[in-house]
Amino acid sequence: MLVDYVFIILGAFIQAIAMRLFLIPSKMVSGGISGTAQIIQAYANWPIGLMTFLGNFPLFLIGWRYLGGTRFALRTAAAIVFFAVFTDGLVYFLPANGIADDIVLDALYGGVILGIGLGLVYRGGGTSGGTDILGRILNHRRGITISHAYLLTDSLIVLASGFAFGWNRALYGLVVIYVSGITAERVSEGNNLFRMAMVITNHTEEVSKQICAVLERGVTILPGTGAWTGQPRQVLYCVLSRSETNILKRIVSEIDPKAFMVIGQAYDALGEGFRPLVRNDS
């Protein structure tokens, strides 16, 4: 979809801003191929964007194999190319020394802005290349969250930057990748605003009708059996937003104060009443 490429290009631009305004001036490495390019530049003074572009080919091929073939390749190639162009191009428009002279501010703002860019690229269905590809593979194949996968794949590169820029900056680099990983997860996957509720009540029909009427949410009635009594019971299952949980509690308590209810956090919600399940990924 066209909107995917809008997310990817915008995300690449925001990442480049984070690099040029906060991370490169403060000599903090955020991991990945771009971080490796920063370390090399300390000794060879080659363009960071160009080195990032050239260094992405091996991992790009791995990602093509494990993260979706042509669809992945097109989106990730766009992210890599635009990030390289923006990173080397913005050097002519942004102050070389950045906008802050405080390493803590550089780490926090650089991490958040970098994470926003990463999250937009992820939302567009691609990655920013480099070790982000390995992070996404861990996320897809092993169920590791993006923030943890990002931390695992980039920590060694950030620590290696200590030899080039000093250990003080290397330790702040770990803060950058942690903050950017959390931010990327929030941007790409949302704020986990959904809740799933299971209700066991002797007034199944009344409760389900009120949920449908008041909350306008669908309810599924599941068959169950009480382990203690051996008697068949009906279980109501529904998904709702976090803000609707108090309304659900009130509905159930007014109808059946003796009901049993469990409310848990849902990772995502797709389908009628929530985000569309089917999308065009061409």
Residue whose pair of structure tokens reads 């906008």 in the numeric block: 99
Regarding whether 144 and 16 lie in a shared domain, the answer is yes
Regarding whether 128 and 32 lie in a shared domain, the answer is yes
Regarding whether 150 and 46 lie in a shared domain, the answer is yes
* Number of domain units in the chain: 2
Regarding whether 33 and 79 lie in a shared domain, the answer is yes
Regarding whether 146 and 44 lie in a shared domain, the answer is yes
Regarding whether 136 and 42 lie in a shared domain, the answer is yes
Residue 270 falls within a domain, yes or no? no
* Encoded tokens for 275: 């985000």
Nearest CA-CA partner of 223 in 212, 214, 235, 213? 235
Give the number of other Cβ atoms within 10 Å of residue 139's Cβ.
21
- Reported as a single tens digit per residue, the pLDDT across 2-52 is 888 999 999 999 999 999 999 999 999 888 888 889 999 888 888 999 999
Mean pLDDT of 70-79: 80
Q: Give residues with Cβ within 8 angstroms of 219, minimum separation 6.
A: 208, 211, 212, 236, 237, 238
Could you tell me the CATH number of the domain that includes residue 256? 3.30.70.120
Nearest CA-CA partner of 153 in 165, 170, 168, 138? 138
- Reported as a single tens digit per residue, the pLDDT across 144-203 is 765 576 667 777 888 889 888 999 999 999 899 889 888 987 887 666 568 899 999 999
Residue 206 falls within a domain, yes or no? yes
The boundaries of the domain holding residue 34 are 2-189
Residue 280 falls within a domain, yes or no? no
pTM score of the predicted model: 0.72
Regarding whether 184 and 139 lie in a shared domain, the answer is yes
pLDDT at 137 over 80: no
pLDDT of residue 68: 57
Residue 271 falls within a domain, yes or no? no
Q: Quick check: 43 and 30 in contact, CB under 8 A?
A: no
Residue 278 falls within a domain, yes or no? no
How does residue 238 score in pLDDT terms, banded at 50, 70 and 90? very high
Regarding whether 245 and 232 lie in a shared domain, the answer is yes
